[in-house]
Amino acid sequence: MGLFSKKPKDINKNPFYESGSAIVIYFKCKKCGEVFMSHLRKYYDITVNYGQDGAAYRLDKEFIGGDCQNKIHIYADFKRNFKPINFEISGASFISKEEYAQNKK
Find the shortest distance in angstroms from Cβ 35 to Zn ion: 10
Q: Based on CB atoms, which residue is closest to Zn ion, 73 or 83?
A: 73
How big is the CA angle at 64 (ends 63 and 66), to the nearest 5 degrees?
Answer: 130
The H helix count followed by the E strand count for the chain is 1, 8
- Residues that bind Zn ion in the complex, under the rule CB under 5 A: 29, 31-32, 34, 65, 67-68, 70
Query: What residue spans of 1-105 are helical by DSSP H?
Result: 97-103
Q: Based on CB atoms, which residue is closest to Zn ion, 54 or 66?
A: 66
Find the shortest distance in angstroms from Cβ 64 to Zn ion: 9
Q: Based on CB atoms, which residue is closest to Zn ion, 15 or 65?
A: 65
Q: How far is CA 15 from CA 86, 96, 103, in A?
A: 11, 7, 17
Find the shortest distance in angstroms from Cβ 32 to Zn ion: 3
